[in-house]
């Protein structure tokens, strides 16, 4: 799917940077005044529409792409997409040249217009981003792809708009891998599942015959590492989601778990449990070389590399309780960094490098929080009965994690769901999934 | 529940009521099935043979064997020595109030605590394997201290 997109990005219209003071969205604070933005339906001529009508099951592609963009923007909490019913100008005319007064009238500050054509069975999609108050175009791009990729077109447009307006890379053309859950708590069936970041295109990657846990994406390609109880031997596996080929990682004489990729994707870091002691190991996927990183008679697990690969954060109960530590990637210079009240686990290094997200348990409540890599500046973002396992969006602005509800004596009322929250602590949202879900991991951008 | 256990439970209730009069209501509802936060009841216990319970229970975050757990494991070891053709898997489990990965490690540590104790009572290492399920296979699906205490366990199952 990734290979055949062949996106040709061309700057179709001159593109002045920083010529005026333009609209800008500040994403560093909780945004209480989301930017009003109008997303016009992408115009498609009737000949083009009839060519792809059947393939896309009769869906109105121009409208559909605009809805994908609107939904993405709305969920950031930074933008307020205006109701299309209020739009005065027709999509094709607006795309050529908006009447800025009309858009100002409905209080839009930014406008997205676009056009879809079908050229030799491919979609050619162009879009423009307009600054209504300044009365000018601030971004224009065109893509060519196969019709089946129309949802990704919507995501890529959102990425470009988000980047232009916030100055940060987007996270919309991405996927989430997670564990889909069904059945009673005492006999839960778990499958690997993957979906687009907005919940579309859910696919199951395993059948549920064996227990699977903690899938994580390779940051550089479409490989996934996870824990499987295949043949009742809990081991770390590697799965290529393009081909479906999977293999066990290494030949450890015991349980391996808590896997993650190194930033370059060439190594897997994980725990290996033997004789009641869990230590952190790495395996180089090219040379198959295995290296022991920690050596301590306590539980050392949940390792995560810094984005430059020089450090590893992990949790250990060497102080008596689960706490967060940082060490050099060779295992030297181990330092405890969490010193607040409560126990701390599942540290994950931000892709920006400056923060570590974690789970904290204190007085019977679970928190998702962030701290600086020296442990200072702890900030708790959300409190709940049970939640854990944050995973960063590729731009390091949003965390996705899972929650479980308290159940009654017979397990009634239990649910496991995915949630996301901004780094600011604002904009907490449920991430819709087709089944109960846990252990989410966010992919990198599929196209840069 | 046989009479002996029943009378023992009654005794524990009375005992707990005397000691912990402040939380008498709560203790009474647990029917004397917990000591500290370790499960001491028999509701979830199965038997490998007559008088040989299949599981031991742990305190929160702990893998230390309690006196009752050591007693159970000595019974298991004696029975295992008499049935030398059998081999066993010890399944380690945690409650749902901990992070998934840490609980996998904790379950492994609990299973090994039981395995080590069986070995010191003469059961050969090559008859015993361990597996951790972390918090993935609770026996009680409730979200109460009693349910959690029943789930913090190491269970010995026949492997052949």
Q: Which two tokens stand for residue A261?
A: 């990729």
Is the CB of A257 less than 8 angstroms away from the CB of B99? no
pLDDT score for B30: 57
Residue A159 at interface with chain B, using a CB cutoff of 8 Å: no
Instruction: DSSP for A295-357, please give it.
Output: --SS-EEEEEE-TTSSEEEEEE-TTSS-EEEEEETTS-S-EE---SSSEEEEEEE-TTSSEEE
CA distance B58 to chain A (A): 15
Distance CA A371, CA A362 (A): 16
Location of structure tokens 């181990």: A334
Strands A43-44 and A365-372: unpaired
Among candidates B116, B131, B138 on the partner chain, residue whose Cβ is nearest the Cβ of A234: B131
Cβ-Cβ contacts under 8 Å for A16 (sequence gap 6 or more): none
pLDDT score for A13: 36
Residue of B nearest to A358 (CA): B99
The pTM for the full model equals 0.91
Note the helical H segments in B63-156: 67-82, 100-120, 145-151
Distance CA A285, CA A438 (A): 27
CA distance B11 to chain A (A): 25
Length of chain B: 160
Through-space distance between the first and last CA atoms of chain A, rounded to whole angstroms: 15
Instruction: DSSP for A28-51, please give it.
Output: SS--SSPEEEEEPPPEE-HHHHHH
Three-state DSSP state, A162: helix
pLDDT score for B16: 42
**Could you tell me the pLDDT band of residue B12, with boundaries at 50, 70 and 90?**
very low
Query: Using the 8-state DSSP alphabet, how is residue A365 labeled?
Result: E
Residue A297 at interface with chain B, using a CB cutoff of 8 Å: no
What separation in angstroms does the CA of A197 have from each of A118, A150, A173, A446? 26, 15, 7, 11
Location of structure tokens 């770390």: A236
Q: What is the pLDDT of residues B60-98, one digit of tens each?
A: 999 999 999 999 999 999 999 999 999 999 999 999 999
Location of structure tokens 């600054």: A131
Mind listing the pLDDT tens digit of every residue in chain A (448 residues)? Answer: 444 444 444 333 333 334 445 667 776 666 678 999 999 999 999 999 999 888 888 899 999 999 999 999 999 999 999 999 999 999 999 999 999 999 999 999 999 999 999 998 899 999 999 999 999 999 999 999 999 999 999 999 999 999 999 999 999 999 999 999 999 999 999 999 999 999 999 999 999 999 999 999 999 988 999 999 999 999 999 999 989 999 999 999 999 999 999 999 999 999 999 999 999 999 999 999 999 999 999 999 999 999 999 999 999 999 999 999 999 999 999 999 999 999 999 999 999 999 999 999 999 999 999 999 999 999 999 999 999 999 999 999 999 999 999 999 999 999 999 999 999 999 999 999 999 999 999 999 998 6
Is the CB of B99 less than 8 angstroms away from the CB of A255? no
pLDDT score for A54: 85
Which sequence spans correspond to the domains of chain B?
1-32, 36-158
Compute φ and ψ for A234, nearest 5 degrees.
Answer: -65, 115
Q: Which CATH fold topology does A3-166 show?
A: Rossmann fold (3.40.50)
pLDDT score for A328: 98
pLDDT score for A403: 98
CATH class of B36-158: alpha beta
Is the CB of B102 less than 8 angstroms away from the CB of A322? yes
pLDDT score for B31: 60
Residue B45 at interface with chain A, using a CB cutoff of 8 Å: no
Nearest to residue A125, comparing CAs of A68, A11, A5, A44?
Answer: A44
Q: What percent of chain B has pLDDT over 90?
A: 79
ipTM for the complex shown: 0.92
Three-state DSSP state, A214: strand
Q: What is the pLDDT of residues B40-63, one digit of tens each?
A: 999 999 999 999 999 999 999 999
Q: How far is CA B74 from the centre of its chain?
A: 13
Q: Which two tokens stand for residue A76?
A: 């950031």
Nearest to residue A42, comparing CAs of A100, A91, A110, A108?
Answer: A91
Which residue, among B90, B95, B105, would best test binding to A if mutated, counting the most A CBs under 10 Å from its CB?
A: B105
pLDDT score for A22: 63
Q: How far is CA A428 from the centre of its chain?
A: 14
């Amino acid at each position: 799917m990734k290979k055949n997109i062949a996106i040709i990005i061309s700057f179709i219209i001159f593109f002045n940077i920083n010529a005026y003071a333009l609209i800008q969205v500040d994403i560093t604070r909780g945004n209480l005044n989301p930017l009003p933005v109008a997303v016009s339906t992408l115009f498609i001529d009737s000949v083009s529409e009839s060519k792809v009508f059947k393939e896309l099951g009769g869906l109105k592609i121009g409208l559909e792409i605009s809805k994908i963009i609107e939904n993405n923007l709305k969920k950031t909490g930074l933008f307020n997409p205006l109701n299309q019913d209020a739009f005065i100008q027709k999509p094709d005319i607006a795309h050529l040249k908006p009447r800025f007064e009309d858009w100002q009238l409905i209080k839009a500050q930014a406008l997205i217009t676009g056009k879809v054509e079908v050229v030799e069975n491919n979609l050619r999609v162009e879009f423009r981003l307009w600054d209504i108050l300044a009365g000018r175009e601030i971004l224009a791009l065109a893509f060519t792809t196969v019709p089946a990729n129309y949802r990704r077109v919507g995501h890529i447009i959102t990425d470009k708009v988000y980047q232009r307006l916030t100055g940060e890379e987007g996270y919309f053309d991405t996927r989430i891998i997670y564990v889909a859950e069904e059945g009673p708590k005492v006999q839960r069936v778990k499958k690997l599942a993957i979906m687009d970041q907005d919940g579309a295109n859910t696919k199951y990657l395993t059948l549920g015959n064996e227990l699977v846990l903690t899938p994580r994406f390779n940051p550089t390609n479409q490989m996934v590492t996870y824990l499987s109880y295949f043949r009742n031997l809990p081991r770390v596996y590697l799965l290529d989601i393009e081909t479906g080929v999977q293999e066990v990682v290494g030949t450890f004489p015991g349980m391996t778990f808590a896997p993650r990729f190194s930033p370059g994707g060439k190594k897997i870091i994980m725990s290996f449990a033997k004789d009641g002691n869990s230590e952190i190991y790495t395996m180089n996927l090219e040379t198959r070389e295995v290296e022991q990183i920690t050596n301590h008679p306590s539980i050392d697990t949940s390792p995560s590399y810094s984005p430059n690969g020089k450090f590893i954060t992990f949790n250990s109960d060497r102080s008596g309780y689960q706490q967060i530590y940082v060490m050099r990637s060779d295992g030297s210079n181990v330092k405890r960094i969490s010193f607040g009240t409560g126990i701390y686990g599942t540290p994950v290094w931000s892709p920006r490098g400056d923060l570590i997200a974690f789970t904290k348990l204190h007085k019977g409540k679970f928190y998702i929080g962030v701290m600086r890599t020296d442990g200072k500046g702890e900030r708790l973002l959300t409190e709940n009965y049970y939640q854990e396992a944050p995973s960063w969006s590729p731009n390091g602005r949003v965390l996705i994690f899972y929650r479980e509800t308290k159940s009654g004596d017979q397990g009634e009322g239990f649910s496991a769901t995915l949630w996301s929250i901004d780094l600011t602590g604002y904009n907490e949202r449920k991430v819709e999934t087709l089944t109960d879900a846990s252990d989410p991991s966010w992919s990198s951008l599929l196209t840069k | 529940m046989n009479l002996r256990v029943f009378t023992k439970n009654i005794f524990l209730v009375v005992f707990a009521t005397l000691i912990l009069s402040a939380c008498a209501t709560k203790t009474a509802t647990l029917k004397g099935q917990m000591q500290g936060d370790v499960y001491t009841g028999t509701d979830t216990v199965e038997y490998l043979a007559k008088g040989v319970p299949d599981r031991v229970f742990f305190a929160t975050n702990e893998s230390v064997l309690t006196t009752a757990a050591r007693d159970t494991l000595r019974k298991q070891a004696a029975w295992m020595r008499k049935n030398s053709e059998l081999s066993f898997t010890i399944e380690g489990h945690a409650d749902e109030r901990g992070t998934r990965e840490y609980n996998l490690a904790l379950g492994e540590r609990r299973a090994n605590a039981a395995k080590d104790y069986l070995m010191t009572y003469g059961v050969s290492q090559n008859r015993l394997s361990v597996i951790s399920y972390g918090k993935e296979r609770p026996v009680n699906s409730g979200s109460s201290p009693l349910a959690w205490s029943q789930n913090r366990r190491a269970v010995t199952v026949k492997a052949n």
